[in-house]
Structure 1
Amino acid sequence: MPSYWPIVLATSAAAYLLNNKFYKGLNKYPGAPLAAYTNWWRFFEVWGQKSEVTHVALHKEHGDIVRLGPNVLSFADPKAIKTIYGLNKGMTKSDFYPVQQAVSKGKRLQSLFSTTWEDYHAKYRRCVNGAFAMSSLVEYEPLVDSTTDVYIERTKELYCGEKKQRCDFTRWLQFYAFDVIGELTWSKRLGYIEKDQDVDGIIEFLNKFLSYAAPIGQMPFLDLILEKNPLKLQLEKWGVNKKVFPVTKFALDRSGERKDEMQKVRETGIVEKRPGRGIDLLTKFNQAQHDHPEFMTDAQVLAASTSMVFAGSETTAISLSSVFYHLVRHPKVYAKLMQELDDAAETGAIQQRDNNKVSWAESQKLPYLDAVIQESFRMHPAAGLILERITPKQGIEICGEHIPGGVIVGCNSWVLHRRPEVFGADVDTFRPERWIEADSLKLKEMKATMFQFGAGARTCIGKNISLLEIYKLVPTFLRTFEIEMACDDWKTRNAWFVRQSEFYTNFKLRSVPREVPPRDPVFSKSQKSILSSNTNHARHYAASRSIRTAWQLEEMGLDYKVEFSERENGKAPQQFKDDSGDALGKFPLLKDGDLTVGESGAIAEYLCEHYDTSNKLLPKDSATRVKCQRWIHASEATYALHALAILYTRWFGADDPSAAEKIEQGMSVNVCKDMDFLENELAKSGGKFLVGDSVTAADCMMLFSAQFILARQLGVQGKKWEKINQWVKDCENTESYKRAVEKTGHAL
């Protein structure tokens, strides 16, 4: 070799490195020293599987903008989220994502997650958006319940029986997440829970795949050499180098089993409901193929199905592990959450079901559960790298800085979730109370900074399904088992997703919920009542019809006290029956001196007749009075009757799901007619309330019925009544109703 070649090579290398260092003027942004010169720094950093720790440390040291590569910037300011991930900003996904594309018969499978083609993504998302909408959750809930039942029973067998063993909880939760996704996508579990093993090596394959994709994605050209080499892909097309991803094989097998059924859906667009079963995603994807034949192909249906397993199971399992880990590591939080769950069960806010299952609707009314889950998302988000985007050709301003075109930019949820000015100085502490203590503005800011599902048009499309699984399993599992840590700590590794391992636990069945202490009266001292000194009081069961009586008493300005009674095995206690003089023991009960009045409708009329001297709640005008009386009686005789028929069918119809479904469908027609009538009457009322601009006994009685139907989705799934929803808000915003809620603790 001529003597000048070493000089040429050294000079070329120096020029290359210096060009990287000063590339597009990005040298003004600090970061790890080597990161400015070469992408090999971030390749080996990600290879080390602790990138989230490094990114947090770099931003802590250098500030809001950190250089991670010659052409890569990471942003820590939450204001960057809207700019980088917002709609119509001209940002596109980087080449990091195609590395994660599955391959079938030598062809890449474009998915919503991995495609970099924005027009393609927009069309694809429009086709399948309905399958992932919040309104579709009610259709998927039976599928989640089916897997949850099996999961709870298998947990009892494996970890609570005679041969009970220590549980590798992260692994066990991953089995749950995989089987739920199988049920949701194909109406068939993959078999993890029943077999207690990695079926077809899918989890092992995903681990290896993500461990490959994370570092290779930092230098995507390597993927074109190693895995998506054009020669390898061509050999696959010819069948010489046959390679099928195990998830793809499972998807093809399941689709093949239902070939005729799906063909009918594609041809007609009609979906036949199966008794006791929800509509799965495979059906929804084929329905989208019928609705959009010009775009949705068989390959796209396959890609949509397989991507559910890739993305849906991994992130959900990580989030579930985070919730349970932080609970067992923080006993006071654990105890406080159990208090909320037991209280909710005691008051009827959580219905009693097989395996202590909690419905989606019920879970949304448990504020401390929500705080625990949000804090778990904050402490341990699933993704551990920046979500890369490429700036538009003309450049863009991000957080006051002009960033040139063609630069890779992004945010890391691990960095965003540890912003002290957003979440408080104790950002490294697991403290769910921060979500309850925050005022409305602070809460809005905190939620806007949460990045566990991404943001903007590319927000994780399966977000709602993941939330459905998490919000249902966590309270269900906690109500069934006591969990104890059986290790010093877990281990984590960041291979794109920050997976946990060696989180060992012991389980013990909760034989009965802990004893709930008797509730104290709202008023500890006797109060002089304008009805009868120290004698007028209402016997009350929280979350019951007695909110009607309390609200009416508040509207009339009458003094009263509340005594609480707890149900015993779901029934009124004997003392309550003795007090009422009625063996039925019905709630609520009003005592006025020596007189006892039962049934909420009778109480409403009694109070109006004896104490509504201004005829405010039951007007004198004959037509208005008759209308009010009709609502008083319709609230129970019509609205509650039809709704309870559905509720009882859900409770007791498990032995004959087909008959139960028919009953619910039939009664749903009646409930919808009832609600349509209420909607029309509100439109004609001439004011905010049922018979004008003032609250009457009609509102006091009917509000609970409407709330009850809507909160428990009794025959009104997917239906919306604008006037009813506004009326409910207006009623709930009255000061009298707020006082009644405060005194009774009422919550649906």
Structure 2
Amino acid sequence: MSLLGNQLLPPFSVNTLCIYGGLAFLLLAAWHVVPWLLDPYSYRKNRIPGPWPAQLSDFWLGRVAAKGHRSETVHGLHQRYGKFVRIAPNHISIADPDALQIIYAHGNGALKSEFYDAFVSIRRGLFNTRDRAEHTRKRKIVSHIFSQKSVLEFEPYIRLALGKLINQWDSLLSGDEKLASHRLKPNSDGRVWFDCLNWYNYLAFDIIGDLAFGEPFGMIEAGADSAAVAVHDDNAANIDVAEKRLEIIRVPAVKILNDRGEYSASMGTLPVWFRPYAKKIPWFARGNRAVKNLAGIAIAAVDKRLATPTDRVDLLTRLQQGKDDEGNPMGRSELTAEALTQLIAGSDTTSNSSCAITYWLARYPEAQRKLQKELDDALGEDEELPTYEQVKRLPYLEAVINEGLRIHSTSSMGLPRIVPEGGLEVSGMFFPAGAILSVPSYTIHRDTSIWGTDTEVYRPERWFEQDAEDIQKTFNPFSFGPRGCVGKNLASMELLLIIATIFHRFDFVLMDPKHDLETREGFLRKPVTCFVGMKRRRT
């Protein structure tokens, strides 16, 4: 006999356990097979191909996402099967540039899918809000902050952080013992060998910290990944109370951001009913802690900023000034959630793209020399940091950045949208309401009919050869339509200033020119490391 509480229960026989196990297996199988047989969205009828496990269960895509190479895997499927690929029971990936204009267009009624629910912390922000009216309200408050005119006010903060980075890299070259842990080996031929990814992470975090929270995190000067985080509960309403936090601790913010991206991108592919159980799995449990810690970074930074009023002009000031149609400003928790959105978007994309562009220019020295000649012609031998006005119209610099965004595709995966009432016809096929569709940027950035047969080669010259209309409809680094990246203007200015400043001053080579850039994908596709040899171009 076995005891549970005060109740005596009869033992289960082996046969009984087998019966229950068999029934559970049959129910689970029916849960997946019956929808496939009923074919509510006519995927089988239209013979849309895809891996068998993906046609039956969301778990296939969840497993692919957890491995960190979703975009490459989906790209391989498109190469095998063609334009349409079924990557989940109700998710079709469409590798067609023309589909961008339909699935993500203004006014088509398509909504973000339940995938985005996995990215919510504190409360819904501009990125993960699925309700159309609420998104329109939030975008109205936020969008003016990122107009071209407004972002120019942020240039001094970007140049200040760049100046600190340049000083640290000069110190690396001079053999400063305080930075010895960053050097991979002794200088040779005037070069220092190090992992530039770490420093690009410090730069991006310090820039967005200064812009979104009133001061940098101090990562560049410390040469370390560290940020303050507030220990907090999960009740977003409590953030509206200006209470003293229980505790402030230091955490590795870059690592937390990476863990959060991998967790949310994997969790978002799983069935909604299974997500509470998935959080009990150790890998997901660690990711869930990263979500909470990342929110804590925003809470600590906003608390500190609001406790000391200032007249400086930055993102947080602009968010505080923003009002909806009824004249209402954001509450504290909403303000914190939007600041967190800017922290995530502003740090990840800038650091990953800067690192990838540095890698490709180091791998293709001829492109690096062409860029440096253009920078020398525009800037001369002036050691002062360039301004946005000086670099904003340099054609080869722009091509270098765009080619990096094309081939690296930081935002690589297809972002899922739910087909609205009335359905949509996409690429010659009709999809009924409720179907989930996406267009993978990684794949369309490698469309040989648009970019040529050498899509895996980093070649900025292609931007002067391609048809402008084809590029406009195919190039998708910031997404497209009403849910596209609201911070595009700021990101573009940052990349122009970062790449121009660094390559005007330094020269880079790879430790192994044949070594591919290793990446891992959560929500964004990120370099894992980027070891380079750097030297000053002038002494």
Q: Distance in 1 between matches of 2:291 and 2:71?
A: 32
1:368 is displaced (CA, Å) by 0.8
The 1:187–1:437 alpha-carbon spacing in structure 2 relative to 1, beyond 3 Å, is same
1:195 is displaced (CA, Å) by 0.8
Contact 1:97 1:217 in 2 (8 A): yes
Please state whether the residue corresponding to 1:96 is helix, strand or coil.
helix
Asked if residue 183 in structure 1 is aligned to residue 210 in structure 2, the reply is yes
> Which aligned pairs between 1:406-485 and structure 2 lie closer than 5 A?
406-438=434-466, 442-485=467-510
Asked if residue 303 in structure 1 is aligned to residue 337 in structure 2, the reply is yes
> Which aligned pairs between 1:124-203 and structure 2 lie closer than 5 A?
124-163=138-177, 165=183, 166-199=193-226, 200-203=251-254
Q: Residue 102 of structure 2 aligns to which amino acid in structure 1?
A: T
Q: Residue 362 of structure 2 aligns to which amino acid in structure 1?
A: V
The 1:216–1:246 alpha-carbon spacing in structure 2 relative to 1, beyond 3 Å, is closer
1:291 is displaced (CA, Å) by 8.3
1:310 is displaced (CA, Å) by 1.4
Asked if residue 212 in structure 1 is aligned to residue 226 in structure 2, the reply is no
Q: Residue 312 of structure 1 aligns to which amino acid in structure 2?
A: G
CA deviation digits over 1:284-343, x for unaligned, max 9? 011115986536222111111111111211111111111111100001111111111112
Q: Distance in 2 between matches of 1:68 and 1:433?
A: 34
1:496 is displaced (CA, Å) by 2.0
Q: Distance in 2 between matches of 1:137 and 1:318?
A: 21
How many residue pairs were aligned?
474
> Which aligned pairs between 1:583-602 and structure 2 lie closer than 5 A?
none
The 1:511–1:48 alpha-carbon spacing in structure 2 relative to 1, beyond 3 Å, is same
Please state whether the residue corresponding to 1:46 is helix, strand or coil.
helix
Contact 1:20 1:36 in 2 (8 A): no
1:248 is displaced (CA, Å) by 3.4
Which residue number corresponds to residue 362 of structure 1?
390
Which residue number corresponds to residue 63 of structure 2?
44
CA deviation digits over 1:74-127, x for unaligned, max 9? 011111111110111111111111211123xxxxx1111111111101100001
Q: Distance in 1 between matches of 2:492 and 2:433?
A: 36
Asked if residue 71 in structure 1 is aligned to residue 118 in structure 2, the reply is no
Q: 1:332 aligns with which of 353, 363, 366?
A: 366
> Which aligned pairs between 1:18-29 and structure 2 lie closer than 5 A?
18-22=33-37, 23-24=39-40, 25-27=42-44, 28-29=47-48
Which residue number corresponds to residue 115 of structure 2?
96
Contact 1:96 1:220 in 2 (8 A): no
The 1:153–1:5 alpha-carbon spacing in structure 2 relative to 1, beyond 3 Å, is closer
User: Taking every aligned residue pair, what percent have the same amino acid on both sides?
Assistant: 29
Q: Distance in 2 between matches of 1:358 and 1:150?
A: 14
Q: Distance in 1 between matches of 2:493 and 2:276?
A: 38
Contact 2:141 2:322 in 1 (8 A): yes
Structure number, greater radius of gyration? 1
The 1:10–1:192 alpha-carbon spacing in structure 2 relative to 1, beyond 3 Å, is closer
Contact 2:260 2:291 in 1 (8 A): no
Q: 1:402 aligns with which of 425, 430, 446?
A: 430
Q: Distance in 2 between matches of 1:383 and 1:85?
A: 15
1:33 is displaced (CA, Å) by 2.2
Contact 1:187 1:280 in 2 (8 A): yes
Q: Distance in 2 between matches of 1:112 and 1:223?
A: 22
Please state whether the residue corresponding to 1:385 is helix, strand or coil.
coil
Which residue number corresponds to residue 276 of structure 2?
224
> Which aligned pairs between 1:675-686 and structure 2 lie closer than 5 A?
none
Which residue number corresponds to residue 343 of structure 1?
377
Which residue number corresponds to residue 32 of structure 1?
51
CA deviation digits over 1:156-209, x for unaligned, max 9? 113443556232111211111111101111231111101111112111211221
Which residue number corresponds to residue 280 of structure 1?
314
Q: Distance in 2 between matches of 1:363 and 1:220?
A: 47
Contact 1:247 1:309 in 2 (8 A): no
Structure 2: tracts of 5 or more residues without a match: 1-14, 184-192, 227-250, 282-287
RMSD: 2.6
Q: Distance in 1 between matches of 2:308 and 2:516?
A: 48
1:9 is displaced (CA, Å) by 5.5
The 1:10–1:449 alpha-carbon spacing in structure 2 relative to 1, beyond 3 Å, is same
Q: Residue 410 of structure 1 aligns to which amino acid in structure 2?
A: S
The 1:292–1:156 alpha-carbon spacing in structure 2 relative to 1, beyond 3 Å, is farther
1:497 is displaced (CA, Å) by 1.3
Asked if residue 245 in structure 1 is aligned to residue 292 in structure 2, the reply is yes
Q: Distance in 1 between matches of 2:261 and 2:210?
A: 23
Asked if residue 62 in structure 1 is aligned to residue 81 in structure 2, the reply is yes
Contact 1:20 1:38 in 2 (8 A): no
Please state whether the residue corresponding to 2:62 is helix, strand or coil.
helix
1:31 is displaced (CA, Å) by 1.1
Contact 1:127 1:292 in 2 (8 A): no
Q: Residue 209 of structure 1 aligns to which amino acid in structure 2?
A: R
Contact 1:489 1:503 in 2 (8 A): no
1:447 is displaced (CA, Å) by 2.5
Q: Distance in 2 between matches of 1:291 and 1:399?
A: 38
Q: Residue 532 of structure 2 aligns to which amino acid in structure 1?
A: T
1:361 is displaced (CA, Å) by 2.3
1:506 is displaced (CA, Å) by 2.2
Please state whether the residue corresponding to 1:284 is helix, strand or coil.
helix
Contact 1:99 1:220 in 2 (8 A): no
Which residue number corresponds to residue 686 of structure 1?
none
TM-score, normalising length: structure 1? 0.60
Point out which structure has higher relative CO (alpha carbons under 8 A, 6+ apart).
Answer: 2
Structure 1: tracts of 5 or more residues without a match: 104-108, 230-240, 265-271, 513-748
Please state whether the residue corresponding to 1:339 is helix, strand or coil.
helix
The 1:122–1:227 alpha-carbon spacing in structure 2 relative to 1, beyond 3 Å, is farther
CA deviation digits over 1:671-711, x for unaligned, max 9? xxxxxxxxxxxxxxxxxxxxxxxxxxxxxxxxxxxxxxxxx
The 1:198–1:297 alpha-carbon spacing in structure 2 relative to 1, beyond 3 Å, is same
CA deviation digits over 1:575-632, x for unaligned, max 9? xxxxxxxxxxxxxxxxxxxxxxxxxxxxxxxxxxxxxxxxxxxxxxxxxxxxxxxxxx
Please state whether the residue corresponding to 2:43 is helix, strand or coil.
helix
Which residue number corresponds to residue 375 of structure 1?
403
1:4 is displaced (CA, Å) by 7.5
CA deviation digits over 1:108-160, x for unaligned, max 9? x1111111111101100001111011111210111111111111111111344
Please state whether the residue corresponding to 1:97 is helix, strand or coil.
helix
Q: Residue 331 of structure 2 aligns to which amino acid in structure 1?
A: T
Q: Distance in 1 between matches of 2:492 and 2:342?
A: 14
Q: 1:388 aligns with which of 416, 428, 434?
A: 416
The 1:243–1:335 alpha-carbon spacing in structure 2 relative to 1, beyond 3 Å, is closer
- 4+ residue runs of structure 1 moved beyond 6 angstroms? 2-7, 241-244
